[in-house]
Structure formats: structure tokens, C-alpha cells
Structure 1
Amino acid sequence: MSPRSGRPAGFTGPQRFLLAGSFLIPLGSFAVLPFMSVLLHERLGMGLGAVGVVLATASLVQFSGGVVGGATAERLGLRRTMLLALVIRTVGFAAFLPGLRHAYVAVAALFLVSCGAALYLPANKAYLVHGVEEARRPLLLSASGSALNAGIALGPLAAAPFVLNFSAGLFTAVAVLFAAITAGHALLPAEGPSPAPAGPGREDGEDTGNATRQSVLPFAVTVLSLYLFMFFQHYLALYAVPRTSATYYGLVLALYALLLVVAQPLLSGWIARLPYARALRIGFAAMATGMATLALGNHAAILAGALLICCAEVILFLKNDLEALARSPRSPAVVFGRQRLAAGIGAFVSGVAGGEGYQAAERADHAGLFWAAVAVQCVVLPPLLTAALRVRRVRNGSPTSGVSGETA
């Protein structure tokens, strides 16, 4: 905080560089990755079944590998881990050039990129908040999230005119971009030592077992949040385009991305101050309302439902990360790695359950029932989860204040 103004101090040079990287890295990645199914199937002749297995496995590696990324960062150091990850990703994107002629090389390139992402993201977030007072973490993490979402939104738009007709040039440009970003990371100062975090209710010297048990809740809530959210992410296009148009669906996505980019930093302080239980109630209520609104199926309902779900994403995803940091005795890199694993588990289960569920609703000619069923889960599953964790804590002889009430 600035002692004179009482306002938060500005970002440091390394923080500004990492925030710029949080935009450029997904911009480059999502100039390529959303088109992988087209490349593998239409250009390289892989069957759709094989393509699905490759993409699902790569996603699982990227998410679950966050645990390995966090452990690596804890041992190797944050800056070194980011550099290693970026070298791997740069090699991966460069390998797409020979991959344009050989499917097995393209698959190997995809897995290199996924492994690099698994290593990079926990170390990146941990470096961003390293040595930063707790009050400034929400703004930094939300600004990083906004930059990332802006890159994700713009990457496919920027690459669409080139991905099929000028693939080699596109992959070359992305590899050069990652090489430049890697060189920039080499100039970052090495992080210094930092004291072990003290979670809520934990004084120095207190047994860390209780803090570790407390950290189970943000992990479990992240699994649930992604499980519910990914129904929206995976199946909105199938639902919205036939009922509106591809152009209208694109407008919905653009407004969603704009709200996400703007709202995350603006609301970060308020979200950080919210008691965890209240944040969960607000977030899951917004998600439930948004899913129920989608079930109406008209233009206004699809837009309103999407924006309500965006509000839920802003609240739940940031609050879960902040709460995981506060409750865990481990380093931020390990915490963020575990959160990535939680996100991967939720997304995987959602993909498995959602396909059959949406197909059944479509066959019954009542696709709106799919969204109504998801809305019911948004209402029912959060209290069931906290109740189950409360029972688990009681059986383990731990206090229950960390699961229910205003401290969630």
C-alpha cells in the first residue's frame, strides 16, 4: 500500500512482464490449439475416435500435470521452472512444422505443449504473488486471469484466416513468439526465499495437519465448480447455434469475454473480503440461475444465462484460489498445482457425464431439460459437498468451523 494515498502500489516491472505474458502466452497457444482437431483429422487423416483420445489425454496431462509442476517449482525454483516449461513449449510449437506432414510428430508436439503448460502455470502464479502482501494477491491473480482470458478470446480470431491455408507460417510465428517470451523470462530476477504461509487459525509452530485438512475444501469446491461450469463450456455451442445463429453465439462469447476481463480486477477486492461460505452461496446461486435461464432457449435467455454464469466464474474461481492459498501450509506453487489438478478432475468428469446427458435431452427433443438438470445440481451439490466434508472432519476429530458458517 502507498503510505500517503492508502491505495495499492503499482505493479513492479517483473509483475507487469508476467501480466503481459499472461496475455501473449494464451494468445499464441489458442492461435493453434483450438484447431488441433481440424489439423489431425482433415489434414493428417486421423480418425475422429483417435483424435478424441489424443485431445482428452493432452488435456488431462495439462491439468493433472500441475501437481508435478508445483512440486518441480518447489525444488527447482520458480524462475527456472518457468524457463524449463517455456523451452519445452517453444520446442513443441516448432515441432508442429514437421507435424504438418506426419501425424505422430503433431501428436508429440501437442504433448510437449501440454507438458510445458503443466509445468509453467503453477510456477507463474506463484512467482506473481511471491513476496507480495496478502492484500495485493487478489488484484494480481485477477489481473492475470483477465489477461489470460483476453488472450484465449483473441487467439482463435487472430489465427482463423491462416490456420488452414498458411499453417506453416502460423506455427513459425507462434514458435518465435514463445522463444521471445522465453528470453524475457530469462531476464527476470530469481525469487528470494519466503516464509512459510500461515493459514487461518494457524499460528507459528501449530501442527500443519489441521491446515492441510482445511485445504481439502477449496480443492473439492474447485472440482465441483469446474464440473458444473464445463457443462456450459462444452455444450453451449450445440445448444445456442441452432436456436439463434453462429453470429449471435459469437456475440455472446465476445460479451462474456469482455465481462470476464473487466469484472475480475474490479471485483477482486470485494471477492477477497467475502467470507468463503457467502462467496460460495453467491457464486453457485449465480451459476444455478444462469443454467436455469439457458433452459428457456431464446435469444435473451441465452445471453442473460451466459452473463450470469460469467459472474459465477469470476467469484468462484478467484475465491477458491485465494482460499486454497490461505488454508494451505505448502508453497504457492504446490497450491496452484493442486488447484490445476482439481480443475482437471472436474472438467474430465463433466465431459464424461455431459455427453450422455446432453444426447439424452436432445433425443427427447427437450434440450432445455439438460440445463435445468445442471441448475438443480448447482443448488443441491454444494451443500451436499460441505456436509460430506463436515462429517469427514468430525470423524477425523477436527473442528468443523472451517467447513460451515461464515468461514466456510
Structure 2
Amino acid sequence: MISVDAYREQVAELLGTAPATTVPLADAAGLILAEDVRAGVSLPPFDNSAMDGYAIRAADVAGAGRDTPVALPVADDIPAGRIDVAPLAAGTAHRIMTGAPLPPGADAVVMVEDTDRGTETVRIFAPAAANAHIRRLGEDVAEGTVALRAGTVLGHSQLGLAAAVGLAELRVHRPLRVLVASTGSELVDAPEPLRHGQIYESNSVMLAAAIRGLGCAVEVIRSVVDDVDEFRAVIEPKLADADLLVTSGGVSAGAYEVVKDALTGQGVEFAKIAMQPGGPQGSGRWNGVPVVTLPGNPVSVLVSFEAFLRPALLTALGHTDVDRRRVRARLTESMTSPRGRRQYRRGVYTPVLGEVTGIVGPRGGPGSHLLAAFTQANCLIVLPEDVDAATEGEEVDVLLL
């Protein structure tokens, strides 16, 4: 058997990193920055007022008070956007709006609330310290410095910063195009009525939602029957437009393992991974396209996604943080695990106020068919390969979902 960690590296290496492409800011939301962004301008690009008020020299209003106002002639008006700002002479004031450029000679701004709002002469009722209510050139970002690092997820604030430093487009990692296929002659697509021996197909729904949630484009082929020729005929023509093929089912040791039969000898290798659930796995390239084949039971699919696909896809998309948060928690009941395999059990984690470790208890048994228990879980309890039992109160590793 292959270890979980070794197979995780194998899948990550298979996917590599998505190529970079240039997109307009409007199309970059949710994508990952492929290279550092340097500021083309400083932020702010000039000294400007942080308030509506009056640009003054601090020394001219040092004695101002409610009962001892200082009156200054208003020599100019400076709205935001004005580019021809005259210098401020000593003993005068310029009425100034928020964001407007500070006139040369001014070293402070008095808030309009501390004045009588005069337009020809203004009476000022409070002193202002030097630099009061002034936004200085480059105090947020200096021109030429790195404003956004490669690997940054581009949300609304990041895109706003890119626009503010003068960019109209960004180099990002292109979203991966993932083809998801579920296999099994027993599968039926809802709402078609079930016959005895049939089940509703759910793996492709789960996988597609999970993969789309990472920012990939997904095409789904549901319920491919257990026939090698049919499998190849349905899927092979679509490989040219895919960056990755993910299949579920047909990879174990039974007599009708269509994925294993179709892809053995085609560049895909199948192995047993030292984990429970999700032991049977396969990966490789088919017609040059990366392929990851997952087991058929729904919990095995979801655990395999968490253990292998999610970190590999996030890495390929350019993320630098690809791991679920890991915490320690005390078990609320005892558990067993097959020695030699890493067990992932669905669980509910609850933090404990004032303590470093929380508490966690399993939801449902270890069976890979118990999907409802997964919907009630907020974590995976991880029991390592050298552990066959964990007692109530013992601390264990927990991956928060």
C-alpha cells in the first residue's frame, strides 16, 4: 500500500500549476494572482485632506478656542479633483474638501465642524496640530513597492487596490477545466424511478459542487455504464477540452471495474492507499490529460477529495495555503481504527471556552456508504496509521471542514 502523504504528493505533482493568463479586473474576482503586483503610483498619490474643512498653518491657529476664535481670510477653494492648487500664504486659509490636494505651505487641516463655515473669512474655534487630518503621499503604498503578492486570492478589496495603483488587468492562474464522470450500471439519474438493485447517482453532484467551489470550471458526465467501450466512447472525445479528468467508481478489485479496465495500460496506475475509507485509487495521464480516479462509495469520494484532490487543485490554481485548519480535540467517546491505515471519521467539533483544545465526537460509523452522517459533520477526525484505538478523553487531530 502507498501512504496517504506519498499519494497526496503524487496527485499534486500530476496536476502541477495552472498556466497564467491576463484578464481584466472585472473578470479576476476569485482567481489567484500569478505574479507580484507593484504599485505604479503611490497611495495616496499626493498629500490630501482627510476632512472637509480648511487648510491652514498650525502656528496661525495655535491660540484658537471656543471663546477665543481665530479669524482668517479664505484665499481659495479647493474641491476634490482640482489640479492647479495655489500655495497657502501665512495668515490665510483655503477651504478644502475631503481628498483634495493640500496646498503648498499648509501643514494642517481644521475640520469644518470646528469653524463657522465662512467662505470669505472663517472663524476657527479649535487649534490644529501639525499634520492634523492630512493623508500623506505614499503612506498606504509607496510607488514601486509590492502591493499584492503572487498567490493572493483576488477578492473585492484586492481588486480595488489593483485599480487604485493604476492597473486595468492582472496576471492570474487560469481556472482549471475539470471533467467529472461517475460510473456504475446501478446508477440512475433522479427523478427517474428506481428499480430494485438501482441507486440514485450522487457522486458527480458532490464532486462537481466541491470542485466548482474551488474556482474550477466543471463539466459532468453522469452514470456511465460498466462497459469499457462505452466508457471510452463517452469520455475520450471530451479530454481535449479538459485539464483534469476525475472519475468515481470502477477502481476496486471486483469483476466489473470499468475505470480500471479501461485505463490500465493507458497511462493510469491503480493502487491501494493506506487509508480508510478510500483505499482504492488511481492516477496518471490518459491521452496526456491528468486523471484522478476515486472509489465509488460516497463517503470515500468526499474523503478522497479532502485528502488528495482539494489540496492538489488549490496548489494548481496558485493558492499558497491549501490545507484545512488542523486542531487538537478531546474525544467524547472511544474509537477504533484498522492498524496500518489512516482513518478519517466524520465528527462534530466544539471549541471549549478558555481552553486550547475543544471536544469532538464521531458522527455515524466508519462505513463509506453513510452519507447522511457527513452532512451533520463539521470536521474529520484523523487517527494515524499506528493507532488502532483511541479512548474517551484522549486528544486527537481534527481537520475542520
Choose between structure 1 and 2: higher helix proportion.
1
TM-score category, normalised to shorter length: under 0.3
Normalising by structure 1, what TM-score?
0.20
More strand by percentage:
2
Higher radius of gyration, 1 or 2: 2
For CA contacts below 8 A with separation 6 or more, give which structure has more relative contact order. 1
